[in-house]
Amino acid sequence: MSHRGGGLRAWLLQRLSAVYMAVFMLYLLLTFAVAAPNTYGEWHDWMGNPWMGLASALFFAALLMHAWVGMRDVVMDYVHPTALRLSALSLVALGLAACGLWILRVLWQAGIS
């Protein structure tokens, strides 16, 4: 397996996820400033829209990927013993996977995804 372009791929993933998250947050801020949903029914209808559900799921996927790339780079740069590095990366991956499963559960129960 070649690691050629691995740094470029991580850099690109970090930048693209940051751009998507910024655009999504800007959309949310503008939506809440103009016409924020006030009741549970309004929230449910707004979040129940398939496009909003997809955009939210993509936001959290981008957030988890962004976090993984950032934490992986920090661990790889500052944790030198191989066993400790592998342990730290495993814990980070496990934590992010748990967060991802929790997010999926929340979206699924809300009827969004």
Q: Is residue 47 part of a domain?
A: yes
Q: Is residue 89 part of a domain?
A: yes
pLDDT tens-digit profile of 35-58? 888 898 888 888 888 898 889 999
Q: Is residue 1 part of a domain?
A: no
CATH number where 70 lies: 1.20.1300.10
Domain ranges, residue 11: 6-109
pTM: 0.84
Q: What is the mean pLDDT of residues 20-48?
A: 91
Q: Which DSSP string do the residues of the chain spell out, in sequence order? A: ---TTHHHHHHHHHHHHHHHHHHHHHHHHHHHHHH---SHHHHHHHHHSHHHHHHHHHHHHHHHHHHHHHHHHHHHHH--SHHHHHHHHHHHHHHHHHHHHHHHHHHHHTT--
Q: How many domains does the chain have?
A: 1
